[in-house]
Structure 1
Amino acid sequence: MDHKTEKKALIRKYINGGCTAEETVQIKSLLSTDDLSALFDEVMDEMASSNIDQYNEPDVAQALVKFHERQSAENIEDSETKILALAPKKIKLRRYLSYAAAILVLIGSISILIPRLNKTSQQNALVQHFENPKGKRSRILLPDSSVVYLGAGSTLSFPSKFATNLRAISLRGEAFFEVTKNPKRPFIIHTGNVVTRVLGTSFKVDAFLNQPVSVLVSTGKVRVDREVNKVLHPIAVLLPGQSVVWNEKTGQHELGSTPVSDISGWKNGKLVFRKTKLADIAAILERTYNVVIQIKNPLLAERQIRVNLTTDIPVSKLVKILSVAGNFKYKINQNHVSIF
C-alpha cells in the first residue's frame, strides 16, 4: 500500500468515526498539509459514487455536537471537529474547518443542530412572498440570479438578500428551478418536512399541501432529505432524468425516471402524461386553467392515459384532445367541465 493510499484509508476511517487516539493525532498533523484537502475530496467522491442512494452531506453542526460529546468522554483537550460522511463533490475540508473554528469561538459549548446554519444575515433580510392563484404562472428572478418558474396555485417565499453561506427558500406547490451555481452557498428548498439541496442545477419540485412531494432532475445533482426534529434523514440523491416521490403519510419513497425533455418542458407549458390517471390529470388542469372538472364515472377517473398537452391553447381545445386520448365524452359550461 503506497503512502497516498494509506492516507486515504486513514481519512476514510476518520470520517466513519473509527480512528484510535493515535490515528486521530495523526489526522490532526495532516490537517496542515497542502494535499489533505484534495485527498479528502477524492475519498468523498469514492464513497459517494460507491453508493449514491446513501449519500449524506456532512452536517457541521451535528458533527460538532458529536465531537463535543466524544471530547468530554475521552477528556481530550482539543478544538478539532469530527466530520461526518458523505460529502458532495468539490466541497473542501477547509470550509468545514472554518465553520467549526468560528462556531467554537463564538459559542464555546456546543449544543446546535442543522438550523444553526440558517442563523445568519438571512434572518434579518426582508422576506418576499409570491403567490400565484389558479390559472396563473410566473417567472421569478431570485437575488442570486437563479430563476424560478412558479406554477399555478403555488407560493414561493425567499429573503431579499441571501445569507453568505447558503440560499434558503420555501415552496408550497410546484416550480421549476434554474439555480445559479455556487459551491460555497448551497441552494436549499424547504417544502414541509422535505429539504431539497443543490449547488447549481435545474429541476422541478411538486409539493402541494397534503400531497406527496416529488422532485425531478433536469441537470446536475440534487439531494433530497426529510427533516425530523431538526435532523436530516436522507431520502435520495438524484441525477438527470431521475425522480423521487416522498409520501409523508406512509413514510415511503419511490424512485423513478422521467425524460429530461419532459421535466424541462414544463416551464414552457408542456404537460406530458405517461400512463397517468385521468383524475390526476384533471387536478392539474383545474389548477392550470382555474376550472372545475367533474368526472362522473369513478372507473373513468382511474383510467390511465398517455398524452402530450400544452397550456398555450384554450381549455376547450385541450379537453377535446384529452377526450380522444382517454376515450370519453365531455361537456363544457363556462368554467365547469363534466367528463362522462
Structure 2
Amino acid sequence: MSTSERLTYLLEQVRLRQATAAEYRELLQLISDDEQGEIVKLLDTWHGAGTAESATNTDYDHAYWQQAVKEILDADHTSRQPAVLPVKNRIYFLQRYWWAAACMILLTAGAYYLSKQTTRPDMAATAPVKDVAPGGNRAVLTLSDGSQITLDSAGNGVLARQGNTRITKLGNGQLAYSGSGSQDGKILYNTMSTPPGGQYQLILPDGTGVWLNAASSISYPTAFTGNERSVTVTGEAYFEVAKNEKMPFRVKAGNTTVDVLGTHFNINAYKDEASINTTLLEGAVRVSASQQQQQLRPGQQARVKANGTSIQVVDHADISEVMAWKAGFFSFNDADLPTVMRQLSRWYNVEVTYEGRIPQRVFTGEIGRNLTLSQVLKGLTKTRIKYRIENGNRIVIQP
C-alpha cells in the first residue's frame, strides 16, 4: 500500500471515529513527516476545495505548523482542554482527548491557505490578557418579599418557606420546590436569575425541570393553581415539562408565548439577538406571536423577530448547536464574529466592542465552556483576529 493510500485509510478511520490507538500514533508520525503536503492535498479533495493550484502547491511553512502542532499537543497533555484550530479561515474547536490526531490533520489542512497570506499569525496572543475563568453554577433567588438568596454560596437543605411551599437546595446543586402554596390561597412568585458567567438548574413545583443559561431569568409561582402553569423567561432556558393535560404549561418571553402539555424544548430570548427562537426536541408546542400561531414538530424551530409579529418556522434546526450550552460547550455553524462574541461575553462576563469595521470571519466547530478566556482568545488570533484588552473586562476587536 502506498503512503497516499495509507493516509487516505487512516484519515477515513479518524473521520469515522474508528481509528485504534496504534493507527492514531501512525497517523501522527506520518503527519510529522509530511514534508510534501500529501495530507493537504487529500483534505482539499475530501472537502471539494481542491484546485489545480492546490493539488500541486506544497510550499507551506512546515516549521511553523510543526510548532503549532507542538502547542496543541502540549496543551492537550497538560490540561486535557479542547484545542483551538485554524482551518481555511474558520476556527474548529475540538472537545475530546481522542481528537488529538484530528487536531494535527486540521492544522495541516490550514497550512496551504495560511501560507498564501502576506502575513502569518503570531503563535502568541497579540496582547497580554488578564485571564478570566469560565462561568459556573451561579444564580440568585428572589423571594416573594423581595429578599434574595445567593444560591451558589448557600448550603444544601431547606433555604426558605413560601407559605406551605419548601424551597430546597439539593445535593447536586439543583433548586427544588415542594408543598401546596400559601395557606390563604395567595399566589406567591419567585424569580431565579443567573448573572453573566452563571448557569443553574431548577425543579418547579410541578416537577418541570428548567436549565437557565448565563444572563437569564425565570419568574414563576411557588405553587401552580388554576387552569394553567405560567412562567416568564428572559435570556435562554431549556425545559423538560411535566405532563398535566388538565393544566397546560405556558412560557412567556418578550413578544412570544409557548404553550405545551408535556415536552422538551429550548427558548432563546436574549434582547441582543435578532429573534426569539423556540426549538422543539420532543413532544409538541404551539408558538404564538401577536395574532399568529404555529404548531411545531420535533426538530423544528420557530423564530419571532424582536419587534415583529410573524413566525418563521425552520424545519430542520441544528439541535446539537442549539443545545450545546446545556452540554457544556459552544457550537458554531457558519457563525459570524458578532455571534461568537455575544456568546463569549455572556459566559465570561466581559464587554465586547468593535473598533472600526467588524472583521468578516466565519466560524464553525465546538469549544468547551470550561476553557479560560485567554485560551479562547488565543484561538481567535490564529484566525487573524486582532484585539486588545481594556480595564481587564473589555475586549476591543480591531480591524
TM-score between the two structures when normalised by the length of structure 2: 0.49
Look up the equivalent residue of 2:369 and give its one-letter code: T
Identity of aligned residues (%): 29
Partner of 2:30: none
Question: Could you tell me which residue of structure 2 aligns to residue 213 of structure 1?
Answer: 276
Corresponding residue to 1:328 among 385, 389, 392:
385
Report the alpha carbon displacement of residue 164 of structure 1 after superposing the two structures with TM. Answer: 4.3
**What's the CA shift for 1:240?**
2.0
Once the two structures are TM-superposed, the CA of residue 235 in structure 1 deviates from its matched residue by 3.5
Q: Which has the higher contact order (CA 8 A, sep 6+)?
A: 2
Residues 213 and 325, structure 2, Cα contact 8 Å, conserved in 1: no
Q: CA deviation at 1:178?
A: 1.4
Q: CA deviation at 1:175?
A: 0.9
Query: Which residue number in structure 1 is paired with residue 366 of structure 2?
Result: 308
Work out whether 1:172 is the aligned partner of 2:229. Answer: no
Asked whether the 8 Å contact 2:292–2:310 carries over to 1, the reply is no
The alpha carbon displacement at 1:123 in A equals 8.5
Give the RMSD, CA atoms, in angstroms.
2.4
Q: Who is 1:244 aligned against?
A: 302
Structure number with higher helix proportion:
1
Distance 1:189 1:250 in 2: 18
Are positions 1:269 and 2:328 aligned together? yes
SS of structure 2 residue aligned to 1:173:
strand
How far 1:297 sits from its partner (Å)?
4.4
Q: How does 1:137-152 map to 2 (within 5 A)?
A: 137-152=199-214
Structure 1-normalised TM-score? 0.57
User: Alpha-carbon deviations, 1:66-102, whole Å to 9, x = none?
Assistant: xxxxxxxxxxxxxxxxxxxxxxxxxxxxxxxxxxxxx
- Separation in 1, partners of 2:184, 2:293: 27
Match of residue 100 from structure 1: none
The change in CA–CA distance for 1:196 and 1:335 in structure 2 (over 3 A counts) is same
- Stretches of structure 1 that go unaligned for 5 or more consecutive residues are 1-120, 228-232
User: Aligned equivalents of 1:288 and 1:294: distance in 2?
Assistant: 16
Structure 2 unaligned spans of 5+: 1-182
Deviates more, 1:279-288 or 1:208-217: 208-217
Measure, in 1, the Cα distance between the counterparts of 2:271 and 2:202.
21
Q: How many aligned positions are there?
A: 213
- Note closer, same or farther for the CA distance 1:331–1:224 as it changes in structure 2 (3 Å cut): same
2:188 is the alignment partner of 1:126: yes
Partner of 2:122: none
Q: Which is worse superposed, 151-160 or 238-247?
A: 238-247
Alpha-carbon separation, structure 2, partners of 1:144 and 1:218: 20
Cα 1:218–1:159 change in 2 (3 A) is: same
Kindly provide the amino acid, as one letter, of the partner of residue 283 in structure 2: G
Aligned to 1:162: 224
CA contact (8 A) 2:353 2:396 kept: yes
Distance in 2 between residues matched to 1:164 and 1:312, nearest whole Å: 42
Matched, 1:224 2:287: yes
Contact 2:289/2:310 (8 A) holds in 1: no
Give the counterpart of 2:264 among 164, 180, 202.
202
Q: Once the two structures are superposed, what CA deviation does each residue of 1:180-220 show, in whole Å capped at 9, x if it has no partner? A: 12222211001122110111111111112375211111222
CA contact (8 A) 1:149 1:177 kept: yes
